[in-house]
Amino acid sequence: MSITEFKPEYAGKLNFYLSLLSEQVRKPHEQPSIGILIGQRKQCTVVEFALRDINKPIGVATYPLTDTLPAERRSLFPTTRSWCAGSVPWRRHCGGRGGASSY
């Protein structure tokens, strides 16, 4: 997943990872892996040319960003205050002591 616009080199890198996965990890009874690139934006022409000669299944999708959380979902997430105070129950079980570096 990327927070930037799609870049052609992403297709090459994903193709490399899929080849490595197929050769080193995939079992004989398993189907080939599928590559999925998710980014903030894409230009269809750039994506088309980047994937044109790649023979592995790769999908490219975008996602929207929003600054607000819908009211009906707010109760599902901790508040900033409870998160920073470390009072989120499942966060303690993950070893969190505050800040992203605790993971």
Chunked into runs of 10 residues, the chain (103 residues) has average pLDDT values of 79 92 93 86 85 88 79 81 68 46 36
Residue-level pLDDT at 101: 38
- The answer to whether 57 and 21 are in contact (CB under 8 A) is no
Instruction: Report the SS3 class of residue 38.
Output: strand
pLDDT value at residue 21: 93
Every domain of the chain and the residues it spans: 8-62, 71-96
Give residue 84's pLDDT.
73
Q: Distances in Å between the alpha carbon of 24 and those of 19, 90, 94?
A: 8, 35, 30
What is the chain's length?
103
Q: How many CA atoms within 13 Å lie on the side-chain side of 28?
A: 0
